[in-house]
């Protein structure tokens, strides 16, 4: 049997990782400024993470949601504390798309409505409703096409106000990334998020903060939407949540009440996944990783802005993007082949940095020196 060939891959076999560094099967070391696509939040093979997973595996790895799993409550309590959303409710699943799918479904159950507002360049995942809310027709299968999703221009206050005025009583939810990731690192303005909050409250719609890439401390705050100073009704999370162990979740405001069977999953919230997520939250707190993300992120952006060739350096914390001119559009490839540094990208010609939140200043300096050298050549 062959692997279904859907990923354009680099010809590299990574076999080891420690912190923000990984090694291939030839022993070559790479600096990971990509975090395995924003997933590695506390660093590869963090000792506390490895120990907690190992200990759990020796006790029990999985049992279904038909029994008590106190690890879920322990996670909910710690997540409430670190995110500041202590009165919210946690539902656990397995991936980002699934988190958004559940958020959207819950919004529709809650409001009894069908319409969803999403924005230009949004990416919300590949399951049916999440992909329908994604602004990329090439990944929407005919069966996922629907009239229920309204796309509006990102950060356009007038368009949003007009849409609510015309059809506010049919809107179940507004879904928005605090910082668009796949779309190329674009920040939702604080004013725009506050307007979403106000209109959702006025019209009885649900504000869904897709925090799958921009959340979990990456921006320097637990949710990047928090910069606007207002709460969403549902936050979706995945990526950094398990530092590589597949886990996702939504946290839900207290006014949205649960009913038996309205949501459910076989694997979501299993013992091993909870142990991984607990280890992440514990390390984030003990090692002050949100402040580190903020500090190292500011430093990286300040230094990147000094490189004349790089344009529109932008982001928050350790979610950073910049544009490279056409003449240097192979910068990502050159950093990988010449300097052994992994970075992310977005179309067209955007470099995306999504490293571990534990990235050190000296690792940031390695990246900066390499980038300066590659744009000079
Ligand atoms: C903002 C956002 N939402 C949702 C998803 C989907 O997450 P997953 O790939 O875990 O399904 C992603 C993944 O890149 C994302 O960046």
> pLDDT value at position 120?
98
Gap between the Cα atoms of 278 and 269, Å rounded: 11
> pLDDT value at position 258?
98
Question: Would you write out the chain's pLDDT as a tens digit for each of its 377 residues?
Answer: 999 999 999 999 999 999 999 999 999 999 999 999 999 999 999 999 999 999 999 999 999 999 999 999 999 999 999 999 999 999 999 999 999 999 999 999 999 999 999 999 999 999 999 999 999 999 999 999 999 999 999 999 999 999 999 999 999 999 999 999 999 999 999 999 999 999 999 999 999 999 999 999 999 999 999 999 999 999 999 999 999 999 999 999 999 999 999 999 999 999 999 999 999 999 999 999 999 999 999 999 999 999 999 999 999 999 999 999 999 999 999 999 999 999 999 988 999 999 999 999 999 999 999 999 999 86
Backbone angles phi, psi at 179, to 5 degrees: -135, 120
Closest CA to 278 of 56, 20, 21, 18: 56
Q: What is the CA radius of gyration of the chain?
A: 20
> pLDDT value at position 72?
98
Gap between the Cα atoms of 358 and 263, Å rounded: 34
Residue 242, beta-bridge partner list: none
The helix (H) or strand (E) run that includes residue 175 is strand 171-177
Tokens of 16: 């080891």
> pLDDT value at position 347?
85
In the reported structure, the alpha carbon of residue 124 is separated from the centroid of ligand 1 by a whole-number distance in angstroms of 6
In the reported structure, the alpha carbon of residue 174 is separated from the centroid of ligand 1 by a whole-number distance in angstroms of 17
Atom of ligand 1 nearest to the CA of 181: 16
> pLDDT value at position 348?
86
In the reported structure, the alpha carbon of residue 64 is separated from the centroid of ligand 1 by a whole-number distance in angstroms of 25
Burial (Cβ within 10 Å: 0-12, 13-18, ≥19) of residue 220: buried
**Residue to mutate, 6, 124, 134, ligand 1, most ligand atoms under 8 Å from C-beta:** 124
Nearest CA to ligand 1 atom 4: 124
Gap between the Cα atoms of 190 and 204, Å rounded: 21
Gap between the Cα atoms of 17 and 291, Å rounded: 23
Whose tokens are 């409430």? That residue is 80
CB 78 within 8 A of CB 143: no
Gap between the Cα atoms of 338 and 288, Å rounded: 33
Gap between the Cα atoms of 76 and 69, Å rounded: 12
Give start and end residues of each alpha helix (H) in the chain.
35-38, 47-59, 70-83, 96-111, 128-132, 157-167, 190-203, 271-286, 289-304, 331-339, 361-376
Gap between the Cα atoms of 114 and 80, Å rounded: 30
CB 279 within 8 A of CB 52: yes
Most distant CA atoms of the chain, gap in Å: 61
Gap between the Cα atoms of 39 and 95, Å rounded: 11
CA distances from 353 to 283, 307, 314, 330, 345 (A): 21, 16, 10, 16, 8
Is the minimum distance from the CB of 213 to ligand 1 under 6 angstroms? yes
> pLDDT value at position 138?
97
């Amino acid at each position: 049997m062959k692997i279904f060939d859907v990923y354009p891959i680099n010809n590299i076999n990574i076999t080891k990782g420690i912190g923000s560094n990984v090694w291939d099967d030839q022993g070559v070391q790479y600096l990971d400024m990509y975090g395995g696509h924003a997933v590695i939040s506390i660093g590869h093979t963090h000792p506390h993470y490895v120990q907690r997973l190992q200990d759990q595996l020796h006790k029990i790895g999985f049992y279904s949601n038909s029994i008590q799993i106190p690890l879920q409550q322990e996670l909910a309590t710690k997540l409430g504390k670190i995110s500041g959303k202590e009165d919210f409710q946690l539902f656990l699943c397995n991936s980002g798309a699934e988190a958004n799918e559940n958020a959207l479904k819950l919004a529709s159950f809650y409001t009894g409505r069908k319409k969803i507002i999403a924005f230009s360049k949004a990416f919300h995942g590949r399951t049916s409703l999440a992909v329908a809310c994604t602004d990329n027709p090439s990944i929407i299968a005919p069966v996922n096409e629907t009239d229920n999703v309204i796309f509006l221009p990102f950060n356009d206050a007038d368009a949003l106000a007009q849409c609510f005025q015309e059809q506010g009583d049919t809107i179940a939810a507004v879904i928005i990334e605090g910082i668009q990731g796949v779309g190329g690192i674009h920040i939702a303005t604080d004013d725009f998020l506050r307007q979403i909050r106000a209109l959702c409250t006025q019209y009885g719609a649900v504000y869904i903060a897709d925090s799958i890439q921009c959340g979990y401390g990456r921006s320097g705050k637990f949710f990047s939407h928090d910069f606007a100073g207002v709460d969403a009704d549902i936050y979706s999370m995945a990526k950094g949540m398990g530092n590589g162990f597949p886990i996702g979740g939504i946290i839900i405001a207290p006014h949205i009440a649960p009913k038996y069977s309205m949501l459910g999953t076989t694997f979501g919230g299993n013992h091993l996944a909870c142990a991984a997520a607990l280890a992440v939250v514990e390390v984030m707190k003990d090692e002050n990783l949100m402040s580190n993300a903020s500090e190292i992120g500011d430093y990286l952006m300040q230094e990147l802005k000094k490189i004349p060739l790089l344009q529109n350096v932008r982001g928050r914390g350790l979610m950073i993007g910049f544009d490279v001119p056409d003449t240097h559009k192979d910068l990502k490839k050159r950093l990988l082949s010449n300097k052994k540094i992994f970075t992310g990208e977005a179309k067209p010609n955007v470099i995306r940095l999504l490293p571990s939140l534990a990235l050190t200043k000296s690792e940031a300096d390695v990246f900066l020196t390499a980038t300066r050298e590659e744009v000079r050549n």
